[in-house]
A = this chain, B = another copy of it.
Amino acid sequence: MAGRLDLKGGRVELAHGGGGRAMERLIDELFRAAFANDWLAGGDDAARFEVPGGSMVMATDSHVVSPLFFPGGDIGSLAVHGTLNDVAMGGGQPRYLAAGFVLEEGFPLAELQRIVASMADASREAGVPVVAGDTKVVEAGQGDGVYITTTGVGTVLPGVAVGPERVRPGDRILVSGPLGDHGVAILSQREDIGFGTELRSDTAALHGLVAAMAEAVPDTHCLRDPTRGGLAAVLNEVAHASGTGMRIREADLPVREAVRAACEFLGLDPLNSANEGRLVAFCPPGSSDELLAAMRAHPLGWEAADIGEAVADERGFVQMETAFGGNRLVDWLYGEQLPRIC
């Protein structure tokens, strides 16, 4: 890590949006420093707060994915799923959504209509209505078609209190399905590479899966969706926040054959590739069988796997036992493998 943010002469880099160390530094040294409150200090994507009558969770996500349409989804469905998932990872069941659009002058209305229809479908399927919105238009050349910021609020699942600070040595690490699909689908679309087999984004709303998991194991310690930066970023963030190390086994990582092949071809690593319909759960070792069973019983978790465990390690290292029996450090990238993944 190369020193602190250069707030005098520095400029915004693509890496600052990549979900890696550069973004973490920008958020920490610029945003958290200015807003200085406990919600942001927690480092979660969702904030939990009390209102008369109970606890609520709120999360926001700006979507700038390119291309706007990709196999398995588009910016509209992604903007719904992304924010619902952030609310769900905060232990909430999303109830309402708001959407702010920044449109570029000249963008075809027919494409906008397709995107909005896809958002509406995703919202209806998830049972979470879009109740408020805003539309701004910028001059041609000051945007890229459509950017969508969605914000979700939800109610907290009874008895659930998830957060990276709750992770302890011995906790099992479970993932809900194959890794890297979204990132590879976007890249294949962008580069117009087919790989002979269809790569589709995994974009999906996970709050139903989370509800089923919370019912089975309310004491789950932490939930994360491995979006920008992929599984590697989540493991490093949680290791950092909990003061534990992580040990995972490559042989147990679920990765589709097509994704593995595409990653090899493109020089990418499925560990760093983004997901939009997967979650990582950390739970006490005694409940991991039950949690895994609950995940596998759900349509969005049937390929779930136990991939390793948190271990005592003050340095917060994330290590992987390779398929050949070796050991390798799973690093947290400085930026993203590619920009505008979500």
Contact = CB atoms under 8 A, between A and B. Distances in A.
A145 to B, nearest CB: 9
A269 to B, nearest CB: 21
B155 A35 contact: no
Interface string A49-82: 1011110101111111000000000000000000
B101 A62 contact: yes
A62 B120 contact: no
Contacts of A36: 120
Contact of A60 (B95, B120, B134, B138): B134
Contacts of A196: none
B135 A17 contact: yes
A125 to B, nearest CB: 13
B103 A30 contact: no
B59 A103 contact: no
- In the complex, the count of this chain's copies comes to 2
B129 A35 contact: yes
A132 interface: yes
Given A14-B139, A99-B60, A110 B8 contact: yes
Nearest to A341: B136
Given A35-B130, A53-B52, A12 B106 contact: yes
Contact of A34 (B95, B105, B113): B113
A106 B96 CA distance: 35
Contacts of A139: 14, 339-340
A141 B151 CA distance: 26
Q: Which 8 A-B pairs have the closest CB atoms?
A: A53-B53, A17-B137, A149-B149, A47-B131, A151-B151, A62-B100, A39-B131, A60-B98
